[in-house]
């Protein structure tokens, strides 16, 4: 379920997954319209939205396989150790989920 809730999203981010919700900073129409006004073509703008939602759905799967609290602990550990971009759970979400516990291959 996608919920528009800008105040819960940390600065600099557009979306956040907390199973079973995906919080986004703005609705799809606003998101796409902003990209169109910057000159991006429609199909690419919609594609960015769809990739963002697919990314957050990977985090849902990670949260389910680690029973949510485990996800929070492991994610926080990786975040402190590797930073956001090199966090193995972010890498799996960026590259797409291939199998259960696929994030372990990015450690
Ligand atoms: Zn992510």
* Ligand 1 center to 34 CA (angstroms): 21
* Ligand 1 center to 56 CA (angstroms): 6
pLDDT one-digit tens code per residue, 17-32: 999 999 999 999 999 9
What is residue 5's predicted lDDT score, i.e. its pLDDT? 87
* Ligand 1 center to 43 CA (angstroms): 22
Given pLDDT bands bounded at 50, 70 and 90, which one contains residue 40?
very high
* Ligand 1 center to 37 CA (angstroms): 25
What is residue 19's predicted lDDT score, i.e. its pLDDT? 95
Q: How much is the mean pLDDT over the chain?
A: 96
Mean pLDDT in residue range 67-76: 98
Separation between Cα atoms, residue 17 and residue 59, nearest integer Å? 6
What is residue 44's predicted lDDT score, i.e. its pLDDT? 98
Domains in the chain: boundaries: 2-106
């Amino acid at each position: 379920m996608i919920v528009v809730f800008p105040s819960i999203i940390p600065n600099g981010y557009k979306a956040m997954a907390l199973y079973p919700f995906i919080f986004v900073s703005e609705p799809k129409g606003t998101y796409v319209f902003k990209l169109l006004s910057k000159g991006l073509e429609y199909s690419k703008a919609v594609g960015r939205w769809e990739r963002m939602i697919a990314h957050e759905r990977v985090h849902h799967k990670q949260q389910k396989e680690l029973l949510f609290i485990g996800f929070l602990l492991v994610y926080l550990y990786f975040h402190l150790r590797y930073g956001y971009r090199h966090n193995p759970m972010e890498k799996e979400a960026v590259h797409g989920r291939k199998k259960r516990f696929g994030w372990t291959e990015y450690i």
